[in-house]
Amino acid sequence: MDIELRNIHKRFGAIHANNDINVRFRHGRIVGILGENGAGKSTLMKILSGFQPADQGDILIDDRRIDYKGPTAAIANGIGMLQQDPLDVGAFTVLENFIYGGAEGLTLKRAQAEAQLSDLTARFGFELDPHQPIDNLLIAQRQQLEIIRLLALGVETLILDEPTTGISAEQKDILFDALRRLARDEGMIILLVSHKLEDVIDLCDEVVVLRAGLMVGEMDMPASDKDLTSALIADTKGQLVTMMFGEELDAQSRPHYEIGAPVFIADKLIVQDLRLDMQPISLTVHAGEVIGLAGLGGSGQELFMRACARIQRVNSGSLHFDGNNITGASYRQLFRRGCVFGAAGRLEEGLIAGLTLIEHTALVADDKLQIDWKSVAKRADTRIDHYRIKGAATDNIEQLSGGNQQRMLIGLLPDDPKMLILEQPTRGLDVDSARWIWTQLLERCARGAAIIFNSSDLEELVTYSDRILVFYAGRVHELPDVSRTSIDELGHLIGGEF
């Protein structure tokens, strides 16, 4: 199968999200779709996969013009998209979801479906127990199920929108191996939207770059049989960044601040969890200090952060914040004392779909009983300006691109907190935006805020942390010296080699 997009246009009000896009995706190729936050990547992929119509333009499959409406019709034409938020049904098992989402719907025989499921699972080295409820699965496994479901439906083009945010390095390797095989052995087209340039260089045969709705470049990636030396990777990254932003970015280094007095102390804290055997954790965080938590997803770092924010129960040990024992406190009490928690799940926990940016601003206002909408609107505009959010104050949050939602989430944090506990603060942000968010966060550190954050991006951890705690299966190991730790070493440590 070959796909051609011709003169694709899509407008949202004044925004020209896709402006005359012309591109051809060829049989057996893995193509990266790159561009800064709000460039129009998701919009284009949703058009191709039938999730939204183009205003204008044609989709051609093997040089035939195809007119389809809706994702089911796109799948029938061989094009399937892995949504960023999986569409599966939580209470059902893996097998039930597979049957329910299959072509024959509920008429597919259980035994037959199970055979097909385990066949596909084994073929790609996935780990899916057909009888597990979906709720117990990792994000990566839900993706695996969705890929298998689309393959069983016979798609020949697979679109993945930021599939590696929130999955571990190990799971990413499994995913990438599967994608390589689908392209090489089955001639499938794989389209990958990603902000992680290393991933794109590693996996893709070629990339197309969007900027402000326009297609601004195409480039072949170094062949995978060639040695991907660090010099070659750095050079390719530089070229991609220049295409994405129209300029080169300066090397980022972390300014260092005076470390102040202790603000947060965890003493032999044991977090309550049924699945992980959490070991006691002791940690003292000082004003101005940045503590990075590393680890594969589900190794205990998320639980620890939530326990610190008083959202997760503790079994024993104590927590002190700003001189007070907060072991039994609620998050509300903590928040009033100046400790703020930022959740990773943008539209699940942090932001509320259906509310505008103005309404979000009102939610974090000091006095919620008497809202002065005029001043709230002004404040929303200031945030949009300051955080360079592409969107209007009256937009609903879900109208923003993923990266711009993340900026809004950071923009809603108070200006002078004593401590920030942040889950994956730069998840889904392009390189430039991620640096800019860190500049904002570090300004708060300079004024005395302490930060605890986690990330699956090892470079981010090494660049911005004063200290790093590595989590593995509920055990914790503190790096003796971050500045002398390489990304490779950190990679081994999060695999449990300590």
Ligand X SMILES: Nc1ncnc2c1ncn2[C@@H]1O[C@H](COP(=O)(O)OP(=O)(O)OP(=O)(O)O)[C@@H](O)[C@H]1O
Residue among 71 and 417 whose Cβ is closer to Mg ion: 71
Which listed range, 58-66, 71-79, 144-152, 396-404, lies at the site for Mg ion (CB under 5 A)? 396-404
Binding positions for ligand X, 363-392, rule CB under 6 A: 390-391
Q: Is 165 in the site for Mg ion (CB under 5 A)?
A: no
Binding positions for ligand X, 213-242, rule CB under 6 A: none
Is 466:289 a contact under the CB 8 Å cutoff? yes
Taking the complex as a whole, the smallest distance from the CB of residue 342 to ligand X amounts, in Å, to 17
Q: Is 404 in the site for ligand X (CB under 6 A)?
A: yes
Taking the complex as a whole, the smallest distance from the CB of residue 2 to ligand X amounts, in Å, to 24
Q: Is 400 in the site for ligand X (CB under 6 A)?
A: yes
Residue with tokens 């929108």: 161
Is 192:172 a contact under the CB 8 Å cutoff? no
Say which entry of ligand X, Mg ion, none residue 360 contacts (CB below 5 to 8 A, set by partner kind): none
Distance CA(449)–CA(360), nearest Å, equals 23
Which listed range, 109-117, 220-228, 341-349, 400-408, lies at the site for ligand X (CB under 6 A)? 400-408
Taking the complex as a whole, the smallest distance from the CB of residue 471 to ligand X amounts, in Å, to 28
Taking the complex as a whole, the smallest distance from the CB of residue 326 to ligand X amounts, in Å, to 35
Residue among 37 and 121 whose Cβ is closer to ligand X: 37
Taking the complex as a whole, the smallest distance from the CB of residue 168 to Mg ion amounts, in Å, to 22
Taking the complex as a whole, the smallest distance from the CB of residue 163 to ligand X amounts, in Å, to 13
> How far are the Cα atoms of 15, 95, 357, 387, 468 from residue 396, in angstroms, in the given order?
15, 36, 6, 17, 37
Q: Which of 5, 30, 39, 458 binds ligand X (CB under 6 A)?
A: 39
Q: Which of 5, 15, 278, 291 binds ligand X (CB under 6 A)?
A: 15
Q: Is 425 in the site for ligand X (CB under 6 A)?
A: no
Taking the complex as a whole, the smallest distance from the CB of residue 437 to ligand X amounts, in Å, to 13
Taking the complex as a whole, the smallest distance from the CB of residue 170 to ligand X amounts, in Å, to 25
Q: Is 75 in the site for ligand X (CB under 6 A)?
A: no
Say which entry of Mg ion, ligand X, none residue 43 contacts (CB below 5 to 8 A, set by partner kind): ligand X
List strands edge to edge, sheet with 290-294. Answer: 339-342, 419-423, 450-454, 290-294, 467-472, 475-478
Residue among 143 and 401 whose Cβ is closer to Mg ion: 401
Taking the complex as a whole, the smallest distance from the CB of residue 31 to ligand X amounts, in Å, to 15
Q: Which of 38, 402, 417, 425 binds Mg ion (CB under 5 A)?
A: 402
End-to-end CA distance of the chain: 48
Taking the complex as a whole, the smallest distance from the CB of residue 152 to ligand X amounts, in Å, to 28
Q: Which of 50, 80, 297, 402 binds ligand X (CB under 6 A)?
A: 402
Taking the complex as a whole, the smallest distance from the CB of residue 403 to Mg ion amounts, in Å, to 7
Q: Is 448 in the site for ligand X (CB under 6 A)?
A: no
Q: Which of 399, 432, 447, 463 binds ligand X (CB under 6 A)?
A: 399
Is 315:272 a contact under the CB 8 Å cutoff? yes
Report residue 419 CA to chain centroid gap: 23
Site size toward ligand X (CB under 6 A) is 19
Radius of gyration in angstroms for the set of CA atoms belonging to the chain, rounded to a whole number: 23
User: Residue with the closest Cβ to Mg ion?
Assistant: 42
Residue among 15 and 294 whose Cβ is closer to ligand X: 15
Q: Which of 17, 31, 42, 356 binds Mg ion (CB under 5 A)?
A: 42
Q: Which of 165, 401, 424, 456 binds ligand X (CB under 6 A)?
A: 401
Is 405:292 a contact under the CB 8 Å cutoff? no
* Interaction pattern, residues 314-353, with ligand X; x per rule: CB under 6 A: ----------------------------------------
Contact positions vs Mg ion (CB under 5 A): 42, 401-402
Contact positions vs ligand X (CB under 6 A): 12, 15, 17, 35, 37-43, 390-391, 399-404
